[in-house]
Structure 1
Amino acid sequence: MSILQAPIFLYSTGPFSPCSCRRSIRATANAPKTQMSPPEALVVAKFYAIMDVVADRVEMHKNIGAQRDNWNHLLLTSINSITLTAATMAGLATTGGTGAPLVALKVSSTLLYLSATAMSVVMNKIQPSQLGEEQRNAARLFKQLYREMQTTMSLYKVTNIDVINEAMEKVLALDKAYPLPLLGAMIEKFPKTVEPTVWWPPKRHRRLERLGEEIDGNGWDGKSEEEMREIVEVLKRKDAAEYLRLSQKALKVNKILAISGPLLTGLAGLGSSFLGTTHGAWAVMLAVIAGVLASVVNTLEHGWQVGMVFEMYRSNAGFFRLMQEIIESNISLREVERRENGELFKIKVALQLGRSLSELKHLAALSSSRNGEEAIEEFASKLF
């Protein structure tokens, strides 16, 4: 008897909303059913309750992701406007003569620079572009989980409490990987070590009663197992390692920019505070030039969304780790009837890597040979 492994389709298509989720639930509920015992009916009711929660999670993360995208645009515009206004005031202070006009421009420029420094520190700490990417990933993965649960209801008789426990574990794992609150639970934006994002619970094997006949042999043989092992090796050696390397580079760039922005606005504020003194010439140069450079740095960091790029690379590394675990969890089972059907499984893996079945076999053959340069340089994924 085959089992339904966690699907590895991470990118879903088509419109989605809680209303459509609930309509499909009602449609399924109104469909003709076989008579169930009260315990079985309770398990199905629990499963539908979890599906409803998952549908709500999709909308929650979608809305919060849009909000945090707005934070990125509004904060970037505000900080750059304040910084350039302060630089303009510092420049005008040198032509404003002495007395009250000079003091007014000097104090205003200094206060604006201090405000920009404080806002920049907060923005660099929370990284709104990265927060938005986290919420987009969460919405997509909750949508995937909902459709996986729909597939389970369509193909299997959900009468086992283990199915409920597994669904709840997946919801909680996603909640942990992509938290909603900022205070206390926010993901560290500048970690000491870069690790792939993990949004799934430990793999467990379960049995489900299938609505239909089994495929003889379950689609597995020794050659198929060896091909999957070679695919895992390529994923580890090339794809996952490459995206971890890119994540580390993006993190380094983001750290440099996050430190440089507030530092430059702070120096500009210091320079503006010395306007009108014996060091006035150097002070105005520091105030104006540092302010302009701070605007450039902020635009590079948040306009180009370096934090989002870092999160995207880390999420891609997590995707390849998930594929490795799914493949390994299948081929590690000695009882082939407990695995997902081999033919279906190979189609899923090939599509996730952007390859045809023949290309997947060719990649496995190249990896097993380890002789030519192509076998060393080629990546498993052709999608990204």
Structure 2
Amino acid sequence: MLLIMNKIQPSQLTEEQRNASRLFNQLHEEIHTMVCIGNPTMHDVKKAMEKVLALDKAYPLPLLGVMLEKFPKTVEPAVWWPPHQEKRQAKAHSGRKINNRNGWDAKLEEEMREIVGVLKRKDEEDYLRLGEKFLKLNKVLAISGPLLTGLAAIGSAFVGSPSHGSWAVVLGVVGGALSTVVNAFEHGGQVGMVFEMYRSNAGFFKLMEESIESNLEEEVERRENGEIFDMKVALQLGRSLSELKDLATSSSIKGEAMQEFASKLF
């Protein structure tokens, strides 16, 4: 039973499916909003299908056989979005003249580049570092738990034996006590869930980085409106617009970038 529990990692599995449920609900609201606005195109349908398939691949519903690797060799951010996003199409506007800069200027572009740098150096790197520590801890606990339980079972089997009586009692008692502590810490402490939480949070920051970089790579008129995008980034990081500008300013000063994380939410 311990081997099966440690292989499946129920707490980690629960966190995976909880994240999947949240992301599917978010995608559902995006599609519902698009339909309510009206006139969705085949491009919108294709884009939504790519998101659904990417999310299903990131968090597969058939849990056994195709479930995610619980003890990966390397810790990487969770990825639940399409890897190759098509260039956004220029929207047709009529009835009013649009600013050629689309809400963007050189200062805002530099600000976004600095924020991407902070996300990579601090937030994403820190969550991956913590995730790696918890992964190693989980591996040790997953191996030592069944091993100690097996030694305790072997020791209890030899209790009463004339030649191994004293050692069998010590092995049974010590092994049983240690296995109880290890198994209680692993599953009671939800170590697998904590690892998955760190991996998922690192994925959130990676998605933000890719979103900002893809906007900066686009032609100005095809980008998302700069003022709206600036506000969206600030909200995702739990900051006001002034705090976001202060973060970008401090990150450009040597030695200041390593003092503060980009996100204030988690």
- Give me the TM-score of the superposition, normalised by structure 1: 0.66
TM superposition shift of 1:215 = 5.2
State how 1:91-240 maps to structure 2 within 5 Å.
Answer: 119-155=1-37, 157-158=39-40, 160-201=41-82, 202-207=84-89, 216=99, 217-240=101-124
Specify the code of the residue in structure 1 equivalent to 2:159: L
Q: Which has the larger radius of gyration?
A: 1
Specify the code of the residue in structure 2 equivalent to 1:200: W
Query: Is 1:219–1:341's contact at 8 Å kept on the other side of the alignment?
Result: yes
Ranges in structure 1 where 5+ consecutive residues have no aligned partner: 1-118
**Residue of structure 2 equivalent to 1:314:** 199
TM superposition shift of 1:291 = 1.1
Question: Aligned with 2:239: secondary structure?
Answer: coil
Ranges in structure 2 where 5+ consecutive residues have no aligned partner: none
Specify the code of the residue in structure 2 equivalent to 1:287: G
Distance 1:150 1:283, change over 3 A: same
Distance 1:164 1:209, change over 3 A: farther
Specify the code of the residue in structure 2 equivalent to 1:198: V
TM superposition shift of 1:148 = 1.2
Mapped partners of 2:244, 2:106: distance in 1: 16
Query: Is 1:346–1:357's contact at 8 Å kept on the other side of the alignment?
Result: yes
**Residue of structure 1 equivalent to 2:234:** 350
Mapped partners of 2:256, 2:95: distance in 1: 43
**Residue of structure 1 equivalent to 2:128:** 244
TM superposition shift of 1:281 = 1.6
Between the aligned residues of both structures, percent identity stands at 67
What's the RMSD between the two structures over aligned residues?
1.7
- Give me the TM-score of the superposition, normalised by structure 2: 0.94
Specify the code of the residue in structure 2 equivalent to 1:324: E
The number of aligned residues is 262
State how 1:252-263 maps to structure 2 within 5 Å.
Answer: 252-263=136-147
Mapped partners of 1:138, 1:260: distance in 2: 31
Structure 1 residue runs of 4+, over 3 Å off?
208-215
CA deviation string 1:333-376 (max 9, x = no partner): 12x22111111111110011111100101111111122xx4332
Query: Is 1:156–1:211's contact at 8 Å kept on the other side of the alignment?
Result: no
Query: Is 1:272–1:287's contact at 8 Å kept on the other side of the alignment?
Result: yes
